[in-house]
Amino acid sequence: MDILKAVALSVAVSGVAATAPAFVLQDAAGQFWALKDHLGRERLLIVSQPSAAYLAEVRRQNVALQVRDLRVVALLHSGDARLNGPQTLTLTLLADSAGTVAQQYGPAALIGKDGGVKARYAAPPALNIVLGLVDGMPMRQQERRERGK
């Protein structure tokens, strides 16, 4: 399946009109992180229990994510050593001890700046698929015209 078909399929089954459920979680340092503080400023890709390789790819794609105002929020078990791993401007590692946020969002979900769930994924999606979906969003196209990137 090519990238455009995969994006279209994820959007078609995503429940685009749904609003992202609010949540507040802590990072490894005990600092609170609230979804509501990021809506309107950033798009969020919430990913439950991503692999170390996935997190490494997010770190490598930091610039591409920044350009698109896209933050990856990785939900990890409270005892997971990766919580203490390096974060970037576009990667946030949070402890979801009870797994309640992961239950709400599933394996992965893309949240738009408007707070709407734009796509749900059965597994952490390849970043090129998410970036393609974001680039097709009307708000992102407007940003590109205004910012020139």
CATH code of the domain containing 72: 3.40.30.10
C-beta separation of 85 from 55 below 8 A? yes
Report pTM: 0.86
**Per-residue pLDDT at 9:** 39
Q: Which domain holds residue 94?
A: 3-147
Sign of CA dihedral 95, 101, 105, 110: negative
Place of tokens 């609003």: 19
Summarised one tens digit per residue, pLDDT across range 54-76 is 999 999 999 999 999 999 999 99
Residues in contact with 37: Cβ distance below 8 Å, sequence separation at least 6, in sequence order: none
Of 2-16, 17-31, 99-113, which range is least confident? Answer: 2-16
Region 67-94 average pLDDT? 92
- Domains contained in the chain, number: 1
